[in-house]
Amino acid sequence: MRHAKTGKKLGRDSAHRKALYANLAGALIEHGRIKTTVTKAKAVKPLAEQMITLGRRGDLHARRQATAVLRSRDVVHKLFAEVAPLFKDRPGGYTRIVKIGPRAGDAAEMAYLELVAEEYVAKEREARATAVPVVDDEPETEVEDEAAADEPVSEAEEADEAEVEEDAAEEEPAAEDEPAEGSSTT
């Protein structure tokens, strides 16, 4: 009996809807987290979890089934090599939907669809942060620190350093003149 199996149509024909689901599931596997509407997230969540289950199986037939749905060998390779091993001990529930409020343009309810494995999501965020260099108008602080170390020190700073060295020199001889407790001078 196939009652209530239709799912959301999302205002698309079947081929467009299938391509949308494949692209969203592929982006989720590739990036670990995607921002989309709540309706699309709810529609693609079962497909994404099914792909992770195929990745957990790991055999050739499962890889071919995943390739037929996701249509990208790179995404399928990442699914089988990196994503699926994170969930090897988890019996299901690989994704979560986190609602983030309405979109500014049309007030559509937005959400993050993300993988539950926190270490994977954090690793993907770090990879994206390091891959995109930040353009600053100012020079880097490391260069400034090195330049500051090479510059001459002002007279006030030299006086402060001299006082610290004198205080340390006064304290050291006093400690050396007194014999340590428990030691005898025979």
pTM greater than the 0.85 cutoff: no
Write the pLDDT tens digit of every residue in 93-145: 999 999 999 999 999 999 999 999 867 667 777 887 888 665 655 555 554 55
Q: How confident is the model at residue 147 (pLDDT cuts 50, 70, 90)?
A: very low
pLDDT for 151: 54
114 closest CA partner among 7, 50, 19, 25: 25
Q: How confident is the model at residue 15 (pLDDT cuts 50, 70, 90)?
A: very high
Enumerate residues 6+ apart whose C-beta is below 8 A from 51. Answer: 25, 29, 66, 69, 70, 79
Mean pLDDT, the chain, whole residue set: 81
